[in-house]
Structure formats: C-alpha cells, structure tokens
Amino acid sequence: MHRQSLRPRPDWKARMEALGFDFHTIPTESDPTGLYWDESACWVFSEAEIDLLDDASVELHKMCMAAAKRIVDEKLYPLLNIPAHAVPAIEASWERQRGGREFSLYGRFDLAYGGDGYGDGMPKLLEYNADTPTSLYEASVAQWAWLEEVFPDGDQFNSIHEGLVEQWKALLRADRLLAENADRRGEWEAGRALHLTCTMPHAEDEGTLRYLQDTAIEAGLATKSIALADIGWTEEQDHLTRRSRGYFTDLEEQEIKCLFKLTPWEWLVADDFGGNLLTLTARDEIRVVEPAWKMLLSNKGLLAVLWEMYPHHPYLVEAHFDRRAFAPGSKVVAKPLLGREGANISVVTMGADGRPTTRELDVAGPYGEEGYVYQAWSPVVSARAPDARGVMRDHHAVIGSWMIGDVCRGIGIREDVSAVTRDTSRFVPHRFE
C-alpha cells in the first residue's frame, strides 16, 4: 500500500458535475477553496491487501452482530446511554432482524490500515458508521469513473453500486407493494412507495439521497424523496372501534410505510415526533431503513463492548468505558458515544490516576454530554507529499469499508492533514494491482 501523486485532469470538475457529483468542493471559512474530491493522488494496494480488507470487514461485521445480541440480551443500554423510551423499538426491531424480517441496507467501517510493515499489518476498527454513513456516491461512482479514464486497465475494490441494487431487490422481494411495476404488485393491490428523506438543504446529504434513490429505482422500487421537515403526522378516528390511528404522511397525504432516512436515529428520537416513530417501529407499522436496532452499532460504546468480548483481537483496538482501565503512559482517544465526523475527539496521555497528563489534540463540536468511550491511540497511515496546491504536507488516510447487507462491496479513502478525520476531510480515489 502506498500513495501515488498524480496530475489532476484539467477538466475534472466538469467531468464530475457531468456525473451528478455536484458537491466535489465544499468551501468553509478555514478553506475557501473547499476541495473535497482530490485526484492529485491515489492510494495503491496489492490484491492481497484488498483481500485482507474484505475478510476483515466481513469478520468485524459478524462480531458486531454478536455484540448487538449481547447488548440486547444483557440490556446494556445504559452503558451506551440509549434512552429508555427507545428500547422497546430497538428490541422489536432486533427480534425482527433475528427472524429475517427486518431490512438493512448498508454500513461503513472506518479502519486504520497501512499494509505490510505498518504496525502489525492488520486493519484496526476505529468505528462503525452503521446508521447514516456518507461518502457513498464518491466511493461508488466518482472514483470508478476516475479509474476508467485515468487507469483504464486498472482495478478497484468497488462493486458498491451493484451491491446496493441487489440489496434493494431484497427489499422488493420482502414487500412487493413497493414495486414500481403494477403487474408485480398485483392487479388489485394499491401501491406504496419507498420514501427517502434527509435534512434539506444540505448538498452532500441530498447528493447521497439522490444516488440511493437512483439505485432503488434501478432495483424496481417506487420511490419518493421528501425533506425531513415536510413529513407530516396524521391522526384518524376509527368510528367502528373508536380508536385513533396515527401515521406519517408526505406532501400528497400518502401514508409513509417504508422510510429511508439519512438522519441519525438519535436525532429523530429527540424530535417532537420521535415518540411517534418509536411507537410505530415497535408495533411494526412502519419500516425504517436503517432499522432501529442499528442504534446499537452506530454508538461508539460498541467499541468497548467488542473489546470485552474479543480482547486482543487483531482487528480491534483496546477500548473501555472507564479510562482508568488504561495503563499509565497510554495514549488514548476520547470519543463521544454519538459523535460524528471527528467532533469533540481528544487525544491524551493517561496518568496513574486515570487523568490526562498531556493533551495533544482537542476537536471542537457539539457532542460529549451523552458520555464517552476511550480507545487506545491507533495511528492511521500517512504519507508526506504535495497537496493539490503543491504544498508539502502529511496526508493521514482512513479507509472506509462498505458493507452492503452482509457483504463487503468496496472501499473509499478520506484524507486529512490532521490525524483525525473530519467533515472537511478530502476523498481520495484508490486502485489495486
């Protein structure tokens, strides 16, 4: 594995926009140029390294499923600071999952890996983005289009698009009323739609949502996109039973029976209508993608549960809920249980009393009140090279390994000049030979 510096295509922006990739630059106050897609370099792997990443991701996914089972069986929700009112929905969703009746689309492992000669040569789990992973379109479409033009004879670990379409087809087999084709639904059956939602306006999330909608349409699903704020709540009175019935609706007053959301479960649960969503989920009156049990895997407390279940596993990094479990002198990363995009992460060296003696890094952000998990420092691979503007920098790379269903379908790579991957980190393509 190594980083290869390249000359970007002169018209790369136009080519990306022609693909529909319109968030290739995201300007910020700290970086007005806002370079997000960065083809001034690529990471190159051997076939054996790709095979290892594939195998490691599949094994980690199985371990995470076992950890979810343990959390439910032993009711470890307080360790993850999961609110009590969310537990019935989580347990009902998990029971459907165990019975093969719950649908899950995808997730993304973030891995520290540098190939042979880097550390012990094994991929290390940093976290599992199992609920609302992004950087999907760039991993699936943008970097594949780049490969075909820049390295037409090259190869890439990337069947993400095909995997998404196949997984959506599994949803259609489970619920034929979602079919766009009326013949497949049945002559007298009223159709329903897969509704897809996110917070709008948001360029990256809307781009991801459009792409996922395209893959669902390719799979044969009837779809509708809707802004999260436009979802309504309707209550009706059944005059025969004298019971009221509540349900979510779109702008055309169609009931939402199947909802893909690019908004984290913990945000929805805290919303004014979150209780309604939890109630419908617990009663199996709405299908949500990702399902409620994914709250167990998207919570960084999962890292400590995994370490307790599989101590010293080659794909894991030591992690604890109590920082005093680390030996004095240990370099430790404090991660908020519900943190996102590197926010509120701290890197410290532990003293004898479990208190930091030195503090190397603090990232600002809105998280932390929900509690922390503590993970041993596991440096990501880095390379010193010119950036897109020719300035020499250290480029720290994290591998995002995409699970579609239970299958690893490819990887994407995020880079940053900092050792912590943030929302401004660049996406850099890869290839293998």
C-alpha to C-alpha distance for 286 and 263, rounded to whole angstroms: 16
Residue range 248-286, pLDDT digits in tens: 999 999 999 999 999 999 999 999 899 999 999 999 999
C-alpha to C-alpha distance for 213 and 217, rounded to whole angstroms: 6
Q: What is the mean pLDDT of the segment spanning 148-169? A: 98
- Phi and psi, residue 201, nearest 5°: -85, 145
Cα four-point dihedral sign 404, 408, 414, 418: positive
C-alpha to C-alpha distance for 45 and 156, rounded to whole angstroms: 9
HEC secondary structure over the chain? CEEEECCCCCCHHHHHHHCCCCCCECCCCCCCCCECECCCEEEEECHHHHHHHHHHHHHHHHHHHHHHHHHHHCCCHHHHCCCHHHHHHHHHHHHHHHCCCCCCCEEEEEEECCCCCCCCCCCEEEEEECCCCCCHHHHHHHHHHHHHHHCCCCECCECHHHHHHHHHHHHHHHCHHHECCHHHHCCCCCCCCEEEEECCCCHHHHHHHHHHHHHHHHCCECEEEEEHHHCEEEEEEECCCCEEEEEEECCCCCECCEEEECCCHHHHHHCCCHHHHHHHHHCCCCEEECCHHHHHHHCCCHHHHHHHHCCCCCCCCCEECCHHHCCCCCEEEEEECCCCCCCCCEEEEECCCCCEEEEEEECCCCCCCCCEEEEECCCCEEEEEECCCCCEEEEEEEEEEEEECCEEEEEEEEEECCCCCCCCCEEECEEEC
Instruction: Give the predicted TM-score (pTM) of the model.
Output: 0.95
Q: Which two tokens stand for residue 45?
A: 């792997």
Q: Which two tokens stand for residue 117?
A: 């000669």
Q: Specify whether the CB–CB gap between 383 and 393 falls below 8 A.
A: no
Class of residue 359 by CB neighbours under 10 A (exposed 0-12, middle 13-18, buried 19+): exposed
Residue range 82-124, pLDDT digits in tens: 999 999 999 999 999 999 999 999 999 999 999 998 999 999 9
Residue range 288-300, pLDDT digits in tens: 999 999 999 999 9
Question: Is it the case that residue 30 has pLDDT exceeding 70?
Answer: no
C-alpha to C-alpha distance for 321 and 305, rounded to whole angstroms: 9
Beta-strand pair 430-432/426-428: unpaired
Alpha carbon separation from 125 to 6, 212, 401 (Å, rounded): 29, 26, 10
CA 404 to the chain's CA centroid: 11
Model pLDDT, residue 367: 87
Model pLDDT, residue 353: 82
411: closest CA among 118, 42, 121, 122? 42
Residue range 33-76, pLDDT digits in tens: 789 999 999 999 999 999 999 999 999 999 999 999 999 999 99
C-alpha to C-alpha distance for 151 and 97, rounded to whole angstroms: 41
Question: Is it the case that residue 187 has pLDDT exceeding 70?
Answer: no
Name the band, by pLDDT with cuts 50, 70 and 90, for residue 29.
low
Name the band, by pLDDT with cuts 50, 70 and 90, for residue 188.
low
Q: Which two tokens stand for residue 17?
A: 């926009």
C-alpha to C-alpha distance for 129 and 315, rounded to whole angstroms: 16
Question: Is it the case that residue 196 has pLDDT exceeding 90?
Answer: yes
Model pLDDT, residue 340: 83
Largest CA distance in the chain: 74
Q: Specify whether the CB–CB gap between 259 and 288 falls below 8 A.
A: yes
Residue range 225-254, pLDDT digits in tens: 999 999 999 999 877 777 889 999 999 999
Question: Is it the case that residue 305 has pLDDT exceeding 80?
Answer: yes
Residue range 334-393, pLDDT digits in tens: 999 998 888 889 999 999 888 888 888 888 888 888 999 999 999 899 999 988 788 899
Q: Specify whether the CB–CB gap between 401 and 11 falls below 8 A.
A: no
Q: Specify whether the CB–CB gap between 420 and 342 falls below 8 A.
A: yes
Per-residue exposure over 333-342, b if at least 16 CB sit within 10 Å of its own CB, e if not: bbbbbbbbbb
Model pLDDT, residue 413: 98
